[in-house]
Copies of this chain bind each other. A is one copy, B any other.
Amino acid sequence: MTKDPYSLSPEEFYERGDSYFLPHISIDCVIFGFHDNQLKVLLLEWKDSLRWSLPGGFILKDEDIDQAATTILLKRTGLEKIHLQQFHTFGDPNRDRKKHGINPPKGSNPKSWLMDRFVTIGYWALVEHSKVTPTPDSFSRSCSWREISEVPELILDHNLIIEKALESLRLQLNDFPVGFNLLPAKFTMPELQSLYETILDEKLDRRNFQKKMLSLGILTRLNERKQGGAHKAPFFYKFDKKKYQRALKQGLSFGI
């Protein structure tokens, strides 16, 4: 009972994880990144190599659920201080590994707490792709980015969880400029527009988009242009947190 619960082997975890973690409750994280003009999610490939899943985990008996989600994000990406948005709790009674034909590793307890029905709490996070170090957990052999439109079949209802997360993200995008979290500190207007277009899955007018974004008063244009493209070099911008705080107080509309 005094051992660090995160250093348990998979077998120990199956056998007696429930002495550390709440039974029947899990957390799954949809971690969004943006790279090469594509929206991506972080996925785990299981050691049996046939299954894919979302990064997830469990809640220590005396741990806050947001904290548990933060720990999952940290362990899979190396990132701290990232906003995690709880968006839905999934409680289909068939969320049960047994019912989905998932067996415990050979030699471990087939009556494990992990084989029970689980209610899972969904969180999403927006992270800067380049800052992430994808790190598998002890059940997985790899952790990697997958383009949102090319996500394979995942275990349980994880595909549905991604759908719901994306829906929630789109709604949030209208109320807060969350998209900026996906970009590096310096970005160009075409990059920002491409991000919005990808998340919302619709084309936007370049000129109106720029007007709207600048009118929010939360961007600072740098005296620097992005070189290397085949055409006119666009300016770099940065998201200005101080201006953002000021703008929030005036009750801005971030809808596109």
The chain A residues found within 8 Å of chain B, CB to CB, are 22-25, 59, 61-66, 68, 86, 88-89, 91-93, 117, 119, 121, 171, 175
With A23-B24, A25-B25, A64-B93 already in contact, 13 other A-B pairs whose C-beta atoms are closer than 8 Å: A23-B23, A24-B25, A25-B119, A59-B91, A59-B119, A61-B93, A62-B93, A62-B117, A65-B89, A65-B91, A86-B88, A86-B89, A91-B121
* Listed A/B pairs (20) with beta-carbon separation below 8 Å: A22-B117, A23-B23, A23-B24, A24-B25, A25-B25, A61-B93, A61-B117, A62-B93, A63-B93, A64-B93, A65-B89, A65-B91, A66-B91, A68-B91, A86-B88, A89-B89, A89-B121, A91-B121, A119-B121, A171-B175
Q: How far, in angstroms, from A24 to B175 measured CA to CA in the complex?
A: 33
Write the nearest CB–CB distance from A68 to chain B, whole angstroms: 8
CB <8 Å contact, B86 and A64: no
CB <8 Å contact, A91 and B119: no
| From A24, A66, A91, residue with most partner B Cβ within 10 Å | A91
Q: How far, in angstroms, from A121 to B88 measured CA to CA in the complex?
A: 10
Q: How far, in angstroms, from A88 to B63 measured CA to CA in the complex?
A: 17
